[in-house]
Structure 1
Amino acid sequence: MTKPKTQSAPPTMRNTDTNDALANAMSIINSLRQHGHETFLVGGCVRDRLLNRPPKDYDVTTQATPRQIKALFPKAKLIGASFAVMEYQQIQIASFRKDGKYSDKRHPDNIDFGTIEEDAARRDFTINALYELPNPRNLARPGRITDFFGGREDLRNRVLRTVGNPNARFREDALRLMRAVRFAARFNMTIAPQTLRAMTRHHRKLSMISRERVRDEFLLIITGAQPTHALDIIIKTKLLAPICDNRTLAYLVRKNCARLTPLSKLLSATTSTNNHQCLMIAALLADADRKRRTPQAAVEALQKLRLANKQTKLITEILQCLDQLRLPDHKTIAQHSARVIAAHPAAPLILALARIIFKTKPNIKRNTNAINKWINTNQTRLPDPLITGNTLIRMGIKPATSYATILSKIYNLQLDGKINTADEARKTIAKIIVAQQKRNR
């Protein structure tokens, strides 16, 4: 065990985070320390404060046992019985612990209370094994840091390294393979050579993790910082196969991953998480040349990621809209197609994606402008169809005839402005039926 480096933050280290959560965490730390329990901020919040980033939340770790924590904070709730984690005032408080074996490659079989050194040794990466005792007189700046594994130096050098032996860390918990990719991209870090080799060596172990957990990490990666760089790491370390578990999806990710970072730069901070995720996945699935795969085949392959039904539906709609823009260079998008795309709630995002996918096509600007015309003039609401299936029945058209095809043709003509009344629609249907009968003779 390396002797910890304990030091105060230098004058250049600043953090403007003085919110209520940090004040609550400081109050908990003070109470525990006043009763003789060694206590610190720990993990991601310390890392983020050293990087001058606002932490998402604050975690506290302590020498006190859950029973002792409960005695000091009667309203604290046990939220992780298996891991001795309590919650009080929206702050998680965990007792120092050491982990046993990880038989399921995800969770320790058993845990025991331990020392701060043992608690640090069980963590995944050095940048997450940092402990801070905040300065109550100046909470805006990081306080005294305890560092057993050189995490602070790794932060300065932008190096991602496991705590201890990387082979042991990835054997314990295979999901750390995905977390390594996410942290490297998020903090613009280089993965240490030994850690990178271990990721490649243990890539197959990711298949032992539930598809839902892999999906969650994958979505965080593609919607995070530098998604193209992150996917490059995934490809380099052979993680793509167990993530996709499907050749079609793996092929499309390799082929289209370069689209993601340019797309992420175009997205607004107000873009919903759901739209962001679906747009990024659609960017991977949209096969511009269509020589090898079709969008529908890609969507079927995507089922391996166990997305919610509403996400699969939205991705399918985005791909269908992109299909309408996949035209020969000399063609202009039909008015009915432009109106359907303009009416989609995610139309501006779809157009942003289209400009990236079809950036070399000379007609893409003309066609996206045609769609924007309807959006900019607030004419995105689609009219009700002039006819329905009941109309076809009353006209005596046999059900064997493709009702859906006829209705689609008529509605497209309606959106194009070529049919304006139900009577015109019925006359057009009659002509379509006559033409079909002639072809069938």
Structure 2
Amino acid sequence: MPDARSTAVALAKRLTDEGHIAYFAGGCVRDRLLGKAPKDYDIATSAIPEEVIRIFPGANEVGAHFGVVIAKSHGHHVEIATFRTDGSYRDGRRPETVSFSSPEEDSQRRDFTINGLFENPQTGEVIDFVGGKADLDACVLRAIGDPAARFSEDSLRLMRAVRFAVTLGFEIEPATWAAMCGHAAGLARISPERIRDEFSRMIVLPKRARALELLVDSGLIHHFLPEVLELIGCDQPPEWHPEGDVFTHTKIMLTMLADDAPLELCLAVLLHDIAKPPTRTLDGDRIRFSGHDALGATMAEEILRRMRYPNDVIESVSFMVSRHMQFMNVQQMRVAKLKRFMAVPTFPMELELHRVDCASSNGFTENLEFVKAKQVEFAAEPLIPSPLVTGRDLISLGLQPGPVFRDLLESVQTEQLEGRLTGREQALAWVKERI
């Protein structure tokens, strides 16, 4: 089966054979010049949508207003868009009108110079009307034309600028940066879902801490996650946090996560201390944050719900935030409680959160090492084995479902987890004694 590039080259050739201009456009050109394998290919063409559909029967016209058609070949989907010029962007999201145009005009409507490049698929020649090649060589992110106009047209470009700068390791050109800072309030016109999607792509990047810094320094984060700003300057007990304030601590933790850390873990790290500012008190000379884990879980849920995250992500993150302080007690936990603590689906992520929490501050590893040793010790059987006694057994003994019923089942499980009850008959006899 042809790969994505070969497929896209063949589609472009069919357009040129029909007398049309057909160039690769945008990210696939940028990535090839950076030595990366493009994930997909987009084609920009002089053919209007009706002609594209005639040339590729069965293609889907997904954006008639914008002249965008999806052609399918050998399992690959290639977006084919007619060269166009955009009209006014009154809502800060999309143009009200478009008109079909030339490659030069089409390049001018795009966001950043590195995304405004074209490539002749047949020869590999790069067509550059916007200076994108020089900016790629210089590792600079620059808006095309007037930066303020580009960000006013589509305010989501503010978030995309941060993501591209962090993903590519580029510096943001001064005029572009100034326009980002000056137009940060434009995010108010963007739906929470679109902001969430861009933020999610940033927070899982290896350089996620730099993304956070750029969002803060530009003022963008004020418009979708202002609670993070309260972490700046929130000082902590130096004996436990010699690294500095809560914001510094959080950034260091984000840096210490693995490059492929899952979204839920990255969000939990970002929000694990989100309630320290509102819970900060002074007990003499001692700084305390009593209850910041419980309040933090509530705040994390509110924040993620506001950003329209899925329920499963919200539940996992808020649960991890609620438990992140419990690791200090693992060595004092009874076996049953420890096994229940370790048995939850989020525990591997919680363990990593605890690792970077300590490594970024006091360097305390005893609890981490204790839990890892227990993981080895408990590995021979499930942490929560099949119950020795069920509710049906209790009903057959004459008990009615209720609080006592539930407590008795939990007590049996505790004895089982502690190793004091090992068989069904023994467990039933234990229950009968207590009835």
TM-score, normalised with respect to structure 1? 0.79
Hey, what does 2:328 align to over in structure 1? 326
Hey, what does 1:157 align to over in structure 2? 138
> Would the aligned equivalents of 2:390 and 2:409 in 1 still touch at CA under 8 Å?
yes
Asked whether 1:50 is paired with 2:72, we answer no
Hey, what does 2:298 align to over in structure 1? 297
> Would the aligned equivalents of 2:82 and 2:100 in 1 still touch at CA under 8 Å?
yes
User: Does the residue aligned with 2:69 lie in a helix, a strand or coil?
Assistant: strand
Shift of 1:354: 1.9
- Do the aligned partners of residues 404 and 226 (structure 1) sit closer, same or farther apart at CA in structure 2, a change above 3 Å counting? farther
- Do the aligned partners of residues 416 and 266 (structure 1) sit closer, same or farther apart at CA in structure 2, a change above 3 Å counting? farther
CA deviation vs aligned residue, 1:104-144 (integer Å, no higher than 9, x gap)? 111111111111111101101111001001346xxxxxx10
Shift of 1:49: 0.6
User: Does the residue aligned with 2:259 lie in a helix, a strand or coil?
Assistant: helix
Amino acid at match of 2:100: F
> Would the aligned equivalents of 2:113 and 2:131 in 1 still touch at CA under 8 Å?
yes
Shift of 1:365: 2.9
> Would the aligned equivalents of 1:204 and 1:242 in 2 still touch at CA under 8 Å?
yes
Hey, what does 1:257 align to over in structure 2? 251
User: Does the residue aligned with 1:94 lie in a helix, a strand or coil?
Assistant: strand
> Would the aligned equivalents of 1:204 and 1:239 in 2 still touch at CA under 8 Å?
yes
Q: What is the CA–CA distance in structure 2 between the aligned matches of 1:36 and 1:424, rounded to whole Å? A: 87
Q: Which has the higher contact order (CA 8 A, sep 6+)?
A: 1
Asked whether 1:111 is paired with 2:112, we answer no
Q: What is the CA–CA distance in structure 2 between the aligned matches of 1:233 and 1:333, rounded to whole Å? A: 42
TM-score, normalised with respect to structure 2? 0.80
> Would the aligned equivalents of 1:338 and 1:371 in 2 still touch at CA under 8 Å?
no
Hey, what does 1:212 align to over in structure 2? 193
CA deviation vs aligned residue, 1:343-385 (integer Å, no higher than 9, x gap)? 3345433322221113322422333224422564353444337
- Do the aligned partners of residues 135 and 38 (structure 1) sit closer, same or farther apart at CA in structure 2, a change above 3 Å counting? closer
Q: What is the CA–CA distance in structure 2 between the aligned matches of 1:40 and 1:109, rounded to whole Å? A: 25
> Would the aligned equivalents of 1:342 and 1:375 in 2 still touch at CA under 8 Å?
no
Equivalent in 68, 84, 90 of residue 97 of structure 1: 84
> Would the aligned equivalents of 1:83 and 1:111 in 2 still touch at CA under 8 Å?
yes
Aligned-pair identity in percent equals 32
Hey, what does 1:193 align to over in structure 2? 174
Amino acid at match of 1:201: G
> Would the aligned equivalents of 1:80 and 1:86 in 2 still touch at CA under 8 Å?
yes
Query: Quick check: 126-135 or 358-367, which moved more?
Result: 358-367
Hey, what does 1:8 align to over in structure 2? none
Shift of 1:83: 1.1
How large is the RMSD of aligned CA atoms in angstroms? Answer: 3.2
- Do the aligned partners of residues 37 and 396 (structure 1) sit closer, same or farther apart at CA in structure 2, a change above 3 Å counting? closer
> Would the aligned equivalents of 2:15 and 2:21 in 1 still touch at CA under 8 Å?
yes
Asked whether 1:237 is paired with 2:238, we answer no
Matches within 5 A, 1:355-394: 355-359=355-359, 360-373=363-376, 376-384=379-387, 386=389, 391=394
Shift of 1:152: 1.2
> Would the aligned equivalents of 2:204 and 2:259 in 1 still touch at CA under 8 Å?
no
Hey, what does 2:241 align to over in structure 1? none
Equivalent in 71, 75, 82 of residue 58 of structure 2: 75
Amino acid at match of 1:154: D
Aligned residues: 394
Unmatched 5+ stretches in structure 1 = 1-17, 137-142, 268-275, 431-441
CA deviation vs aligned residue, 1:171-192 (integer Å, no higher than 9, x gap)? 1111111111111111011111
Q: What is the CA–CA distance in structure 1 between the aligned matches of 2:230 and 2:32, rounded to whole Å? A: 37
Equivalent in 243, 263, 272 of residue 286 of structure 1: 272
